[in-house]
Amino acid sequence: MKIVVTGAAGFIGSGVASLLRDAGHEVRGFDLRGGEDVTQGDVRDEDAVARALDGADAVVHQAAKVGLGVDVSDLPEYVSVNGLGTAVLLAAMARHGVSRLVLASSMVIYGEGVYDCAEHGRRRPGPRAEEDLAAGRFEPVCPRCGRPLAPGTVDEDVPPDPRNAYATSKLAQEHLAANWARETGGVAVALRYHNVYGPGMPRDTPYSGVAAIFRSALEAGRAPLVFEDGGQRRDFVHVGDVAAANLAALGALESAPPGRLRAYNVASGEPHSIGDLADALSAARGGPAPEVTGRYRLGDVRHIVASPDRAAADLGFRARIRFADGMREFAHAPLATAG
């Protein structure tokens, strides 16, 4: 199959492109930076996208502006790269008769995870109040009775609740892809990546993931600075498993029903806290020990833990790299100088 991989020079996209080639596909990389086997171009450039799509059978769309953003000044760039760029790509796919799409989405579209109240059952709490965060009250409470909540597991049918510009732009990508599928009869899969880490991850920038920020601090001999109390739960999934999920999704397009988009969590199914992450990396590198700061960011959620069951059932995908093994590798793996 002839496949265009956008964002093919990036952290995730390069791994996806490499695995697809290993599986026997003909891959055409497309990225702002260009590189070996990667054509330089912007997904917002209609002519460049049209040239990249010539003769293609499918697109694996990884290109995006990532991270939670610094402040509202980032809004135009998120909307431009992630929203407009995806719209330009989809319109070009329709013109060129490319009917198969794998879209890199994100768990950030869910916002806060799901919780259970002993009295009121399943709850989706709203954004945490700044006065609570400033006072060290990090756990969401039941919006009806104010009692503590027990965190649950998010599946793909949970309604989205994006809490920042990046999340909103990723959800927009899913809606655009669903529109494209309905109007063209195309088939589309959205892979909602959870917290991806691994070799080649971008270094410590305001847009880096927390794993890279901790790893960069340790490499410089500094303690990882853990926000809140370190109890925030996430699902950390290795970049090699994410690449495998893309390969599985591409295969599933052959039998997927046309005219619709189907979403899947890409997650390990084994949640760990941010404190666990810092401890594991610090131990693997021999310190220094993490420092819990109590600081917070208003765009952050407390817990977001995924169910990997739909991807296992429909795509035959399950993450294989365990947290402890992946962290030992990542603690000494090379990092990239750009996102």
Q: pTM value?
A: 0.95
Q: What is the pLDDT of residues 147-168, one digit of tens each?
A: 999 999 999 999 999 988 999 9
Across the chain, mean pLDDT equals 94
Hey, which of 72-86, 90-104, 207-221 has the most confident mean pLDDT? 90-104
Work out the percent of the chain whose per-residue pLDDT is above 90.
Answer: 87
Give the neighbor-by-neighbor strand order of the sheet with 38-40: 38-40, 26-31, 2-6, 58-61, 100-106, 187-193, 260-266
Q: For 75-82, what is the mean pLDDT?
A: 94
Contact by Cβ (8 Å): 37, 29: yes
**CATH code of domain 2-114+152-332:** 3.40.50.720
Q: Which two tokens stand for residue 320?
A: 């294989």
pLDDT at 319: 97
Q: What pLDDT, on the 0 to 100 scale, is given for residue 207?
A: 59
Reply yes or no: is the peptide bond before residue 224 cis, omega within 30 of 0. no
Q: Which residues pair with 5 in a beta bridge?
A: 29, 60
* Rounded alpha-carbon distances, angstroms, from residue 326 to 178, 240, 280, 310, 338: 34, 10, 10, 23, 22
Q: DSSP class of residue 127?
A: P
Average of per-residue pLDDT across 114-132: 93
CA 284 vs. chain centroid, Å, equals 25
Strand pairing partners for 303?
Answer: 233
What SS3 state is found at 18? helix
| Residues 120-131, mean pLDDT to the nearest whole number | 92
SS3 label, residue 202: strand
Residue range 133-145: mean pLDDT, rounded: 94
CA distance linking residue 196 with residue 212, whole number of Å: 10
DSSP SS3 for 78: helix
CB contact set of 261 (below 8 Å; sequence gap of 6+): 103, 174, 177, 178, 181, 188, 189, 190
For residue 69, the model assigns a pLDDT of 60
Give pLDDT tens digits for 169-189. Answer: 999 999 999 999 999 999 999
Backbone Cα Rg of the chain: 20
Give pLDDT tens digits for 188-237: 999 999 999 999 999 876 657 899 999 999 999 999 999 999 999 999 99
- 121 in helix, strand or coil? strand
pLDDT score, position 339: 46
- Dihedral-angle region of residue 98 (phi above 0 means left; psi in -120 to 50 means alpha; beta otherwise): beta
Determine the length of the chain.
339
- For residue 106, the SS3 value is strand
* 8 A C-beta contact, residue 18 and residue 207: no
Contact between residue 19 and residue 25 where contact means Cβ atoms under 8 Å apart = no
100-109, 143-152, 285-294: segment of lowest average pLDDT: 143-152
